Amino acid sequence: MRYNILYFASLRDGAGRDSEEVESVHADASQLYDELRQRHGFTARQQTLRLAVNGAFASWDHELADGDEVAFLPPVSGG
């Protein structure tokens, strides 16, 4: 499946880009994150991240679909 992955904060620094198109066999967001973590050498553990799919927060058991926009969100620090 093809995903558009968005990166923010430490993950953006780690990936060296804002976003990327990714081809993956995983419909499970945790497994997708693990794959990207290995590829880019992210240090953030999945448990510290929130998942967002197509611009909305989603739980980690949300099943991904082809063409989804997926973001793994580090702890926020606005304000």
Residues 38-77 that bind other proteins (CB under 8 A): 43-44, 50, 52, 55-57, 71, 73-77
- How many helices and strands, by DSSP H and E, does the chain display? 2, 5
Minimum distance, C-beta of residue 78 to other proteins, in the bound complex (Å): 3
Q: Where are the alpha helices (DSSP H) in the chain?
A: 9-15, 29-40
Q: Does 79 bind other proteins (CB under 8 A)?
A: yes
Sign of CA dihedral 73, 10, 30, 65: positive
Three-class DSSP category at 1? coil
Question: Binding-site residue total for other proteins (CB under 8 A)?
Answer: 21
Contacts with other proteins, residue ranges (CB under 8 A): 6, 8-10, 12-13, 43-44, 50, 52, 55-57, 71, 73-79
